[in-house]
């Protein structure tokens, strides 16, 4: 597998082919246009760099927590100034595609989320191979499944350095379990909901005894069951769409649909005002939550302190989210960019982010650090969240998220919304989703790194 960096001059033939591919992708993901949508007011003021000073541009989305680390890095390296540009989750990825297509405008460092990683990994020529800086030696520092997501098949090309991960646990309302005559102690409850069938059966009992649903929404339940499968929508070896022949997808779908049919879902969208009130009021019994969502729960429902606890996920483990810091090949300051991302993803910095934001580290060597091993969260009844989420992280089964994962996920979850809203029967929603997926993916030209004419 080649590891050389591509020439900066885009050939007349190569650029139109890439533009075609990226334009199609933009239409599929709903951006509609490949014009950059960065808010001009958010751009740093232009200025002349001082003698010996290095300026880096870094694109971020969401609440990564990296901002505070960057400030610390600048203090430790006064000759480095990092211009942070924030956009939405969708726009960061779409803007990066725009920069690649136009041949200019890419940042020195870009944060890429796992759902988009395989899409970008099809174009190694547009990224700096971090193996050139010795990044291959860092592989043992990270969880094996996470490092695999960051590299090509044989590990010779390192696209990015992993930041956090999203191991999942069950956040539960003990008072509702007690009212239904069910265990409320963490380990006892984990045994009672060891499988997803157990989980739904417990949900039925809570519904019968308290009138409250088991979960906030079925889309999250669908994700959790699917995340535990070795294969999801695409064959990891061929990239072929296998959604209809893969029983794991049907199992996840049927589990979510059954929860809806049994009245076990409150149908409250995560992060909505209704969801926040539901957490405060105990309107549902559980939240299937990655580590990073703990802070969201606290911020959205501060009055719920002490009302929720944490235990292990049914069916084993799962992971929701996680990102990578990459260096586009257009950067003219690759060495300085690599020094920055190497520092940002070091276990010490990951530990600092976990301590402040619950962004769980992708570096298992620090899981026995007291800051993780002994961490108990008073908001969640002093649950040993460090131990629970580190156990979950170590037990995540490697899964493959294909280059078109984001497109399929959006369609499947929209179909589940129709089921919850009773706008379609489960089979109607499934059939419509399959039709739409096939239609859109036929328009999608990216296949195993080949850019179409």
Predicted local distance difference test score (pLDDT) of residue 250 = 98
Q: Which of 53, 93, 176, 151 is nearest to 405 (CA)?
A: 93
Residue ranges of alpha helices (H) inside 282-404 are: 293-300, 334-344, 347-357, 370-373, 385-394
Rounded Cα–Cα distance for residues 288 and 168 (Å): 7
Predicted local distance difference test score (pLDDT) of residue 63 = 78
Rounded Cα–Cα distance for residues 61 and 26 (Å): 18
Q: Dihedral of the CA atoms 89, 92, 94, 95 (nearest 10)?
A: 160
Predicted local distance difference test score (pLDDT) of residue 40 = 30
Residues whose CB falls within 8 Å of the CB of residue 105, separated by 6 or more in sequence, listed in order: 36, 95, 98, 99, 330
257 in Cβ contact with 148 (< 8 Å):
no
Q: Which of 199, 260, 244 is nearest to 416 (CA)?
A: 260
Predicted local distance difference test score (pLDDT) of residue 158 = 98
Predicted local distance difference test score (pLDDT) of residue 62 = 83
**Structure tokens that stand for 136 in this block:** 């291959």
What phi and psi values does residue 20 have, to the nearest 5 degrees?
-60, -45
Task: Give the orientation angle of helix 405-420 with respect to helix 426-443, to 10 degrees.
Answer: 160
Token match 């990226």: residue? 22
Rounded Cα–Cα distance for residues 274 and 279 (Å): 9
Q: Which of 295, 262, 274, 264 is nearest to 171 (CA)?
A: 295
**Structure tokens that stand for 22 in this block:** 């990226």
What does the DSSP assignment read for 136-165?
GGGGGGS-HHHHHHHB-TTS--B-EEEEEE
Residues whose CB falls within 8 Å of the CB of residue 73, separated by 6 or more in sequence, listed in order: 80, 82, 340, 343, 344
pLDDT tens track of the chain, all 453 residues?
323 322 322 233 233 333 333 333 333 333 333 333 443 334 444 344 556 799 999 999 987 889 999 999 999 999 999 999 999 988 999 999 999 999 999 999 999 999 999 999 999 999 999 999 999 999 999 999 999 999 999 999 999 999 999 999 999 999 999 999 999 999 999 999 999 999 999 999 999 999 999 999 999 999 999 999 999 999 999 989 999 999 999 999 999 999 999 999 999 999 999 999 999 999 999 999 999 999 999 999 999 999 999 999 999 999 999 999 999 999 999 999 999 999 999 999 999 999 999 999 999 999 999 999 999 999 999 999 999 999 999 999 888 888 899 899 999 999 999 999 999 999 999 999 999 999 998 865 544 443 333
Token match 């009212």: residue? 179
Rounded Cα–Cα distance for residues 443 and 21 (Å): 10
Rounded Cα–Cα distance for residues 24 and 27 (Å): 5
Strands 54-61 and 109-113: parallel
Which 8-state DSSP code applies to residue 365? G
Predicted local distance difference test score (pLDDT) of residue 45 = 42
Which 8-state DSSP code applies to residue 85? E
441 in Cβ contact with 404 (< 8 Å):
yes
What does the DSSP assignment read for 313-324?
PTTS--EEEEEE
Predicted local distance difference test score (pLDDT) of residue 93 = 93
Give bridge partners of residue 58 from the DSSP assignment. 84, 109
> What would the 3-class secondary structure string for 46-71 be?
CCCCCCCCEEEEEEEECCCCHHHHHH
Predicted local distance difference test score (pLDDT) of residue 443 = 66
């Amino acid at each position: 597998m080649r590891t050389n960096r591509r020439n900066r001059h885009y050939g007349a033939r190569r650029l139109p082919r890439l533009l075609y591919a990226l334009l199609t992708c933009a239409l599929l993901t709903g951006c509609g246009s490949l014009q950059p949508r960065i808010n001009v007011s958010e751009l740093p003021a232009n200025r002349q760099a001082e003698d010996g000073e290095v300026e880096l541009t870094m694109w971020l989305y969401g609440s990564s927590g990296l901002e505070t680390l960057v400030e610390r890095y600048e203090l430790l390296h006064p000759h480095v100034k990092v211009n942070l540009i924030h956009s939405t989750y969708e726009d960061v990825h779409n803007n990066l595609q725009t920069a690649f297509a136009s041949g200019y405008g890419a940042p020195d460092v870009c944060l890429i989320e796992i759902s988009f990683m395989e899409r970008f990994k099809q174009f190694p020529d547009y990224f700096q191979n971090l193996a050139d800086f010795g990044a291959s030696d860092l592989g043992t520092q990270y969880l094996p499944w996470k490092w695999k997501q960051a590299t090509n098949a044989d590990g010779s090309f390192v696209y990015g350095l992993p930041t956090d991960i999203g191991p999942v646990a069950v956040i539960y309302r003990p008072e509702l379990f007690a009212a239904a005559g069910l265990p409320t102690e963490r380990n006892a409850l984990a045994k009672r909901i060891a499988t997803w069938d157990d989980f739904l059966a417990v949900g039925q009992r809570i519904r019968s005894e308290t009138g409250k649903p088991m979960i906030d929404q079925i889309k999250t339940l669908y994700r959790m069951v699917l995340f535990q499968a070795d294969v999801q929508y695409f064959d990891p070896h061929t990239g072929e769409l296998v959604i209809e022949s893969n029983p794991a997808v049907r199992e996840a779908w049927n589990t979510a649909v059954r929860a809806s049919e049994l009245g076990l879902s409150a149908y409250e969208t995560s992060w909505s005002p209704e969801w926040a009130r539901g957490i405060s009021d105990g309107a549902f019994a559980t939240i299937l939550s990655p580590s990073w969502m703990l802070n969201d729960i606290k911020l959205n429902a501060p009055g719920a302190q002490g009302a929720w606890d944490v235990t292990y996920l049914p069916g084993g483990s799962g992971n929701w989210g996680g990102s990578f810091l990459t260096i586009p090949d257009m950067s003219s300051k690759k060495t300085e960019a690599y020094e920055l991302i190497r520092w940002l993803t070091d276990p010490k910095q990951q530990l600092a982010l976990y301590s402040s934001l619950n962004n769980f580290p992708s570096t298992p060597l620090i899981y026995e650090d007291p800051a993780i091993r002994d961490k108990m969260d008073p908001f969640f009844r002093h649950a040993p969240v460090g131990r629970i989420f580190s156990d979950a992280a170590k037990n995540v089964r490697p899964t493959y998220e294909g280059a078109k994962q984001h497109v399929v996920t959006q369609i499947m979850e929209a179909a589940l919304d129709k089921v919850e809203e009773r706008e379609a029967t489960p089979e109607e929603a499934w059939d419509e989703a399959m039709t739409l997926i096939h239609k859109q993916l036929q328009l999608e030209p990216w296949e195993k790194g080949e850019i179409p004419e």
